[in-house]
């Protein structure tokens, strides 16, 4: 990149659409910062649409207060002590297994060839990408979450698995209903959960130099299943089981430190090799970001939607979820050579979401906030 030019670009498309009177496209390299860094900058720059004199309302902090893993509190009693010790043993075992699989993925373990994946002779991603997006209700996602007693991430991973399953079996014409296990790369923010609030306050107090910008990401190799399941909620339950297992592991911390170690010891080519092989040997990149909880404006211009995504990795499909206000934007970054019917793929996400919501509405459960 030319060092004499800024690392970011702003493109203003003064073309009315069904969503807004005009669109701003912001293009930045990932070296500038990860999703949390960019979201921090957005919060600090924007203002509330209801009251332009104040910052946007901050998202509710999650229950997790630490950076990654917080063990259960130690309680009195022999049985409670054994459970506390077992949690650490399980953490160590899961971490060892996950790090071993990560190393195997970098070296030789690759997903099977499917219609989602680039062929072995064409692992360089097409520089031309198609970005398509659609909004779903955040209240509906929370409705499913309460029905299944899971998290928002569980719901989104389950919807993704259901949508890709629907697309695969229709596109391939495969009548074999045996499930296919594929893997996705899930980046995880390593900062403490309170960092967004703290950094925005620091920028507002003219202490932006103290903000930890850049990338602080670990990576999870997350399995997902392509299968025809009779119960749409089974996709969410399976996603919950997989994510619960991953939460009892320090895989994301080790993958981050391993990448940094290779980068410092062997240079940028070694770091690029690790990331390249990780993406080449998996099928999908998956990401989810929390955005403003209320409508915002940027220098007097109201923002009607936020659609985030990425490109440049050797994967034909990137799935990104971005919350804003009372909605979640589903954004797909696709290689048009692999997904010429990208609009149909986006429809599969919407159809799968409504099927899962309809199944959740038929459950009887106590409503929780």
Tokens of 167: 């697309």
Distance between CA atoms of 95 and 83, rounded to whole angstroms? Answer: 18
Residues 118, 314: contact at Cβ < 8 Å? yes
DSSP secondary structure letters along 297-329: EETTEEP---------SS-SEEEEEEEETTEEE
Distance between CA atoms of 205 and 153, rounded to whole angstroms? Answer: 33
Tokens of 354: 């409504």
Tokens of 111: 């997903």
Cβ atoms within 10 A of the Cβ of 263, count?
Answer: 16
First to last CA, the chain: 48
Q: Where in the sequence numbering do the catalytic residues fall?
A: 30
- Is residue 246 helix, strand or coil? helix
Instruction: Tell me the CB-side half-sphere exposure of residue 21, using CA atoms within 13 A.
Output: 3
Q: Which long-range contacts (CB under 8 A, 24 or more apart) does 237-242 make?
A: 237/148, 237/150, 237/158, 238/158, 238/161, 239/150, 239/154, 239/155, 239/157, 239/158, 239/161, 240/148, 240/150, 240/151, 240/154, 240/158, 242/157
Residue 14 CB-density burial (10 A; 0-12 exposed, 13-18 middle, 19+ buried) = exposed
Tokens of 52: 């332009």
Within 8 A by CB and 6+ apart from 78, the residues are none
Distance between CA atoms of 71 and 49, rounded to whole angstroms? Answer: 40
- Is residue 215 helix, strand or coil? coil
Residues 283, 117: contact at Cβ < 8 Å? yes
């Amino acid at each position: 990149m030319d060092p004499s030019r800024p690392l970011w670009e702003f493109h203003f498309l003064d073309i009315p659409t069904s969503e807004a009177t005009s669109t701003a496209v912001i293009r930045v390299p990932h070296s500038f910062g990860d999703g949390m860094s960019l979201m921090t900058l957005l919060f600090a720059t924007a203002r509330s649409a209801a009251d332009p004199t104040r910052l946007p309302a901050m998202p509710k902090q999650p229950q997790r207060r630490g950076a990654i893993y917080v063990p259960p509190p130690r309680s009195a009693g022999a049985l409670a002590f054994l459970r506390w010790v077992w949690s650490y043993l399980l953490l160590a075992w899961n971490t060892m297994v996950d790090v071993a699989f990560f190393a195997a993925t970098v070296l030789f373990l690759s997903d099977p060839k499917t219609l989602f994946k680039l062929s072995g002779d064409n692992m360089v991603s097409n520089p031309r990408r198609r970005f398509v997006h659609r909004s779903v209700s955040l209240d509906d996602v929370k409705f499913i979450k309460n029905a299944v007693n899971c998290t928002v991430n569980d719901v989104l991973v389950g919807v993704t698995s259901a949508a890709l399953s629907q697309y695969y079996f229709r596109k391939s014409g495969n009548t074999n209903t045996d499930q296919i296990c594929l893997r996705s790369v899930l980046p995880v923010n390593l900062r403490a959960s309170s960092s967004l609030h703290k950094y925005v306050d620091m920028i507002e107090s003219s202490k932006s130099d103290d903000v930890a910008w850049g990338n602080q990401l670990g990576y999870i190799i997350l399995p997902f299943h392509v299968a025809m399941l009779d119960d749409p909620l089974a996709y969410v339950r399976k996603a919950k089981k997989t994510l619960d297992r991953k939460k009892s592991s320090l895989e994301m911390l080790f993958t981050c430190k391993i990448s940094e170690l290779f980068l410092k010891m062997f240079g940028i080519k070694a770091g690029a090799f690790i990331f390249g092989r990780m993406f080449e040997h998996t099928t999908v990149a998956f990401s989810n970001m929390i955005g403003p909880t209320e409508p915002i404006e940027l220098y007097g211009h109201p923002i009607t939607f936020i659609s985030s995504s990425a490109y440049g990795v050797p994967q034909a499909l990137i799935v990104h979820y971005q919350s804003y206000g009372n909605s979640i934007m589903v954004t797909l970054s696709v290689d048009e050579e692999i997904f010429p019917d990208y609009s149909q793929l986006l429809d599969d996400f919407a159809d799968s979401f409504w099927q899962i919501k309809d199944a959740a509405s038929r459950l009887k459960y106590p409503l929780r906030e």
